[in-house]
Structure 1
Amino acid sequence: MANENPLLSASPLPYGLPDYAAIRPQHYLPAFHAAFDAQRGEISAITRLRARPTFENTMVALESSGRLLGEVARTFYTVSSADSTPEIQQIEETLAPLMSAHQDSIQLDADLYRRIKTLHEQREDLGLDAEQRYLVERHFREMSHAGAGLDDAAKERLTALNQRLSTLTNTFEKNLLRDTNELAVIFDDVAELDGLAEGELSAAAQAAADHGLEGRWMVTLTLFTGHPYLSTMTNRASRKRILDASRARGSRDGQNDNRPVLREIVKLRAERAALLGYNSHAAYVTSDETAGSPEAVHDLLRRLAVPAARNASREQAALQAIIDAEPEPFPLEAHDWPFYTERVRAAEYDLDRSALRPWFEAERVLRDGVFHAATELYGITFEERGDLAAYHPDVRVFEVRDADGSTLGLFLLDLYTRDTKRGGAWMNSIVLQSRLRGTQSIVVNNLNVPKPADGRPTLLTLDEVTTLFHEFGHALHGLFATVTYPHFAGTNVFRDFVEFPSQVNEMWIYWPEILDTYARHVETGEPLPRDVVEKLRASEAFNQGFATSEYLAAAWLDQAWHSLDAEAAAGDLDVAAFEAAALSDIGLNNPVVPTRYSSTYFAHVFSGGYSAGYYSYIWSEVLDADTVEWFRDNGGLQRANGERFRDRLLGVGGSKDPLEAYRDFRGRDAEIQPLLERRGLAG
């Protein structure tokens, strides 16, 4: 079978990069079944032992198990998120309940749990080092949290819930992908797109041509509610068409309707939480995060919501004043906000952000910005490996080396949007670093930048530059984490800590030595004018009322849905009415400032890993803002600073309590004041 299926034998490529050129869709399910069987045998070998539990015969054996399954799963899920053809979608639908059942068979294994519980009780007397002791603690905590201590009847119900939820979350993502593609906005006249740059028009024309619509223009939708084009399009009706299409996703009657899907997800998550002894899914999730409880999350969100809403109201009044001065004034609406925000920015700061794109050519941003910052701070270098093929022709492969010339792993970049790629931006791992297994990291960054026609440069918006730096922060975390046990590899940390390294990496965007290198005009090579740089820095807090409010609104919706107890979640909830009530509760129900994600296209929480955890971005930003202050106080872009951050935070992966690691780096707990000042909320 291994001879016929490339997934069942070691990859011939460097670092274990999957041989995607040889892999066919029909290889995946047989490989998964073989991998399930293999790990079941490995776990059985542990639980059949008559010898007393030891760290070696239980924990090391557990960490050694499932290697084939991990390799097959990471290979497949990389493709299913970034190049999800109908055939791949069908495989994923079939696989979802199988994967859930297999995971439960291990997490809920009573014999395995007893062995780990015994080691947990004896952990202080076993002579373990810090990583080994934490491994015992985390496995015991995670199995307890998963329900390993339940009786057999409760476990049977729990397994059924988990399998149904895995199917529903997969359905939610498939519906969203289809609806996002179907709702792409088609324009017949280029005049309707007045205000877009040449590269943006080229991308829209190319997207239309790819769909057999020669001579027309297609605007594809982003994952979040808004769209970058809204800030420059002069045609108000065109702006409205794009925003209306975006907000309609998943909420139309028909096969892509996500309303019944998310209602059932909420209901079953609440039932599962009750089964596990928690009064809500939010209580269940946060109990094993740094936040500790939903009350701690709610306190932070409410504390920030009041000044954010106040600032947004001030911003709204400023925008309305501009409109009122026009020959034909009208009430400001949500699709007008980005456009008139740029008018205010131009008036107050003499700054037109849309005109900056020629200074943000993608290749230069990557090599002379993102890579250059990492080289200066950590000494690492990058070499493109054109000889290595990934899962799609657009994906580029880079070999990463440490300052001493030793290898760290591979970095893959998948920059462009396509119909088969889910929305948003993300990082994932294909291979995890582990001393136990002798493996090094392979990490992927995915973005959704519109692809221009052949021969045209890819010019990024400032937001896309930020996303590239942000996702590369995750990649660095995945590359630098150096652990023995795969359970702790890469970004396998608490959900409300995982965004911290990526947010810190954004600080280098405006750092003078970095900005001067990458922000060069695509045609002339001239640097971004110094006065423009100063205006960008001066305007960093501009429009933060809107930005903070739209984010907090989404974070609160996530909490509202997942704070329902089992009885409330079982009711026939109207999605639109529930959203309106939740946003009114926190004072963020301003229709001109829509939530960053409405429920029916809130992929982070209904098909991703952020259920009851979308708050983690702002939670992590407290640490991020405090860390940026530390870098500035200690000389900024210096190797010594980079090495401290790498050694004490990025390098430990998940092998240490994250807040303990932060105290080790910072010398104290994080303070919230730098975040309040950054977002203009300090007053």
Structure 2
Amino acid sequence: MSPNPLLQPFEGPFGLPPFDQISDADLAPALEQAMAQHRTEIDAIIHSDEPANFGNTIEAMERAGAQLTQIWTLFSNLVSADTNAVRQTLQQQWTPVVAAHYDAIRLEPALFARIEAVWSNKSALTGEALRLTDKRYQEFVRGGARLQGQAKQRFAEINAELSRLQVTFGQNLLEENNAFVLWVTSADELAGLPEAMIAQAAAKGAELGREGDWAFGCDRTVLYPFLTYAQYRGHRETLYKGYLNRADNDNERDNKANLRRQAALRLERANLLGYATHAHYILEDRMVGSPEDAKALMSQVWQATLGCAQMELADLQGLANSQGANFGLKGWDWWFYAAQLRQQRFELDEAQLKPYFSLDNVIEGAFYTARRLFGLDFRALDNVPLYHPQARAWEVLDPAGQHLGIFIGDYLTRDSKRGGAWMTVFRQQSGFDGPVRPIVQNVCNFPPAAAGEPVLLGFEHVKTLFHEFGHALHGLLSQCQYPGLAGTSVARDFVEFPSQVLEHWAMQPEVLAHYARHVESGQVIPQVLVDKIQQASQFNQGFQTGEFLAAALLDMAWHTLDLTEEPDVLAFEAKIADEIQLPEAIAYRYRSTAFAHIFSGGYSAGYYSYLYSAVLDCDGFNAFVEAGNIFDPNLANKLKTLLESGDTVAPDRLYQQYRGRAPQIEALLQHRGLQ
């Protein structure tokens, strides 16, 4: 019997996992053995004859469970980016088991006693040792280590149930995405749609057994262009509602009971730990330290956003009326008329821009930005095994030409991939047992091209690619001693700063001139188009900021509830929309039943983080603007230091060291035209 490849050292090129050797059947036995090994390592720490100190307790814990971390990280990445029925079943089975394993460790009194002993005598510690000790101590306290008896048992039960619910929520959502199809049977009803989109829909229709009809899914890569270009209003409405109502169709994939239960369990867990609400528990260790502060920030921006959105709505209604509309503007109309209004005002539309934004060119634009800022080089790896044929890999070299890490990009949408875009790692950077270089991944969901055609991106997709690449740089540039402090292991409302600040470079004329080249002629994007991009950058910001903020406020509302009873989801959403005066034509970016960020991801009571990070990124990029050079070497070095530091320094201090002062909100309002 051949050895389990998950339990062997990963000896592929640059330490890549042996994707071509791993089978789904390898996971369960590997997890069983890795958890047993981790438990043995933890027991050795607990039963050490030596008094607890940093080396034999905190540092030993960083080593413990390395094999389990490697296996579970690999599986989590696969089940997100390339799932199948077997992997979904394994995820359902093993997520609560692994969660319970880690809970048992955090709730182990003898282990916590050693951690507390080190923490109580931390005056001799400095630098990363002090930071890691504080982090581990707080992690155990917040993980229930001080609870006793029945409360400790109930805490573990809640965590186990939440882990199951979150997996089910995400799988329901993926199945709802894949199950929805808008069928179009008449070519006349395709009017306005780009030819490439029509061709993709025809291919999907044939794949589903209806040759000659057109099939449109409801993922966002289809939704937004369809709502922008489709002239047939009835189809826009059907697709829009299909998207909004995912996992809210009173079928076996409905998420309403699931999310209500999650909200109740999160509140109960917070109360066990002495917090008023889940949001108070979550925000205690964030840059924004309380739900009251987060709400105050959102309220400040919301007031400016609401006025802007109402003016935009009036303008769009006027345009629709001028074309003979006999209806009040609805959510499924906004993109359609906004695109026309933008064309009128700026003579700019996606069809003009997309030929300049082929996927390969945009990737090169991101690499170019990293070269100019940080001296990095990216070399394609063409013959390494990866988990899917669409994934690509590059070796990353530092300014001295030394190996820095591996970057994997997986950019195209497919049914086996969950929606959205994200960064993750297959291996975290560390240095305490010799240098370990990171393997970092970006996953996106861009629409594929027709066979033989290049993939062309809209400008929002361009920004998404730069955004996720900013996260990747945070992981790649990490120079930390301990993996628990490395890369993106930072406060949730700081982790989006490196990603969002990089978006600013995507639209700078100097960067566009390098990568925005016509896919056929190779011509650099004309200056007149660059000027139009700049002029249109604040267009429709009331709507875009509004739909985001509405979702962020909904998230905070779910997690500041005093749940004497579980509310009706639709009624609760309507109540929050009424309280904030959300215009009827603007929906929550994510309705509750499809809000994966907060009910199957790590952003519960934290979706506001994108807004707080936007304060940081606008203020942070303004430093380069004020310097008169978007590649200013001094500022680039300061930004690099911030990215290298991971969580070794408190994020507010890191930002002040970079910017020279605390962040200011004015740059955000100015950048979005919300003054």
Normalised by the shorter chain, which TM-score bucket?
over 0.9
Residues of 1 paired with 2:466 and 2:152: CA distance?
Answer: 43
Q: Distance in 2 between matches of 1:375 and 1:459?
A: 23
Quick one: distance in 2 between partners of 1:445 and 1:551?
Answer: 22
Counterpart residue number, 1:528: 525
CA distance in 2, matches of 1:659, 1:70: 29
Shift of 1:522: 1.1
The Cα shift of 1:574 comes to 0.8
What is the aligned partner in structure 2 of residue 370 from structure 1? 366
The Cα shift of 1:225 comes to 11
Separation (CA, whole Å) in 1 of partners of 2:545 and 2:158: 35
* 1:301-360 superposed Cα distances (whole Å, 9 cap, x missing partner): 111111211111100000111111123432211111001001111122222234311111
Task: Indicate the residue corresponding to 2:663 in structure 1.
Answer: 670
Q: 1:643 to 1:354 in 2, by over 3 A?
A: same
Q: 2:613 aligns with which of 604, 620, 624?
A: 620
1:644 corresponds to 2:643: no
CA distance, structure 2, for counterparts of residue 225 and residue 599 of structure 1 = 21
Change (3 A) 1:406 1:213: farther
Range with bigger deviation, 549-558 or 355-364 = 355-364
The residue that corresponds to 1:579 in the other structure is 573
Aligned to 1:114: 113
Task: Give 3-state SS (helix, strand or coil) of 2:520's partner.
Answer: coil
Question: Residue type of the partner of 2:540?
Answer: N
Percent identity reads: 40
Cα pair 1:225 1:247 within 8 Å, conserved: no
C-alpha spacing 1:640/1:117, structure 2 compared with 1 (3 Å) = same
2: CA distance, partners of 1:631 / 1:109: 49
Name the stretch that deviates more: 339-348 or 164-173.
339-348
Corresponding residue SS for 1:622: helix
1:594-613 mapped onto 2 (5 Å cutoff): 594-613=587-606
Correspondences of 1:233-632 after superposition (within 5 Å): 233-367=230-364, 369-437=365-433, 438-565=435-562, 567-568=563-564, 571-588=565-582, 590-632=583-625
How far off its partner does 1:386 sit? Answer: 1.1
Aligned to 1:101: 100
Calculate the aligned-residue CA RMSD, in Å: 1.5
User: Is this contact kept in 1: 2:369–2:505, CA < 8 A?
Assistant: yes
Residues in 1 aligned to 2:187 and 2:101: alpha-carbon distance in whole angstroms: 53
From 150, 164, 168, give the equivalent of 1:167: 164
Does residue 46 of the first structure (1) align with residue 39 of the second (2)? no
> 1: CA distance between counterparts of 2:71 and 2:612?
33
Q: Give the counterpart of 2:148 among 142, 146, 151.
A: 151
Equivalences for residues 115-154 of structure 1 within 5 A:
115-124=114-123, 126=124, 128-154=125-151
Deviation, 1:224, is: 9.4
CA contact (8 A) 1:5 1:31 kept: yes
- What is the SS of the residue equivalent to 1:429? strand
Cα distance per residue 1:547-576 (max 9 Å; x no partner): 1110000000100001012x43xx141100
Task: Give a deviation string over 1:229-271, Cα, whole Å, max 9, x none.
Answer: 2112222122112101101201001111011111111111111
The corresponding residue for 1:633 is: 626
Letter aligned with residue 252 of structure 1: N
Alpha-carbon distance in structure 2 between the residues aligned to 1:189 and 1:412? 41
Report the Cα distance in structure 1 between the residues aligned to 2:206 and 2:407, rounded to whole angstroms: 31
After TM superposition, the structure 1 stretch with the greater mean CA deviation from structure 2, 436-445 or 649-658, is 436-445
Question: Cα deviation per residue 1:518-547 (whole Å; 9 max; x = unaligned)?
Answer: 111111122222112111111111111101
In the TM superposition, what is the alpha-carbon distance from 1:214 to its structure 2 partner?
3.4
- The farther-off stretch of 210-219 and 308-317 is 210-219
More off after superposition, 158-167 vs 503-512: 503-512
Q: After superposition, what is the alpha-carbon deviation per residue over 1:96-145, rounded to whole angstroms, capped at 9, x for unaligned?
A: 11011011012222111111111111111x2x331111111111111111
| Residue equivalent to 2:68 | 69
Tell me the SS of whatever aligns to 1:218.
strand
Q: How many residues align?
A: 673
C-alpha distance in 1, partners of 2:459/2:655? 29
Letter in 2 for 1:679: R
Is the Cα–Cα contact under 8 Å of residues 306 and 587 in structure 1 kept in the other structure?
Answer: no
C-alpha distance in 2, partners of 1:355/1:323? 23
**Aligned AA (1:160):** E
- Give the 3 Å change call, closer, same or farther, for CA 212–490 of structure 1 in structure 2: farther
Q: Give the 3-state SS of the residue equivalent to 1:356 in structure 2.
A: helix
Determine if contact 1:13/1:19 at 8 Å carries over to the other structure.
Answer: yes
Give how far 1:500 is off: 0.6
Moved more, 608-617 or 151-160: 151-160
Give TM-score, length-normalised by structure 2.
Answer: 0.97
| Distance in structure 2 (CA, Å) of the matches to 1:209 and 1:577 | 40
Aligned-residue offset at 1:226: 5.5
Distance 1:212 1:11 in 2: 42
Supply the distance in 2 between the matched residues of 1:43 and 1:89 (Cα, whole angstroms): 30
Partner Cα separation in structure 1 for residue 209 and residue 410 of structure 2: 24
Query: Within 1, Cα distance between the matches of 2:232 and 2:448?
Result: 23
Q: Counterparts of 1:449 and 1:676 in 2: how far apart (Å)?
A: 29
For the 8 Å contact 1:483–1:653, the answer to whether it is kept is yes
Instruction: Give the 3-state SS of the residue equivalent to 2:121 in structure 1.
Output: helix
Aligned equivalents of 1:15, 1:107: Cα separation in 2:
33
Runs of 5+ consecutive residues of structure 1 not aligned to the other structure = none
Change (3 A) 1:290 1:230: same
Q: 1:51 corresponds to which letter in structure 2? A: E
**Matched residues in 1 for 2:314 and 2:650: separation?**
45
Q: Deviation digits for residues 188-215 of structure 1, max 9, x if unmatched?
A: 2343222222322233233334434433
* Matched residue type, 1:641: L
Corresponding letter in the other structure for 1:406 = Q
| Structure 1 residues 177-216: aligned runs within 5 Å | 177-216=174-213
2:625, 2:618 → 1: CA distance? 11
| 8 A Cα contact 1:377 1:639, kept in partner | yes
Is the 8 Å Cα contact of residues 39 and 66 (structure 1) preserved in structure 2?
Answer: yes
Secondary structure in 2 aligned to 1:498?
A: helix
Structure 2 unaligned segments of length 5 or more: list them.
none
After TM superposition, the structure 1 stretch with the greater mean CA deviation from structure 2, 40-49 or 637-646, is 637-646
Residues 225 and 246 in structure 1, CA contact (< 8 A), matched pair in contact too = no
Task: Quote the Cα distance in structure 2 between the aligned partners of 1:354 and 1:311.
Answer: 27
Q: Which amino acid aligns with 2:619?
A: D
Distance 1:532 1:610 in 2: 37
What stretches of structure 1 move > 4 A for 4+ residues in a row? 223-226
* Whole-Å separation in 2 of the counterparts to 1:280 and 1:208: 48
Structure 1 distance, partners of 2:555, 2:71, is 31
Moved more, 673-682 or 195-204: 195-204
Amino acid at match of 1:16: G
Superposed displacement of residue 165, structure 1:
0.3
Q: Separation in 2 of the partners of 1:481 and 1:41? A: 30
For 1:67 and 1:341, how far apart are their aligned partners in 2?
51
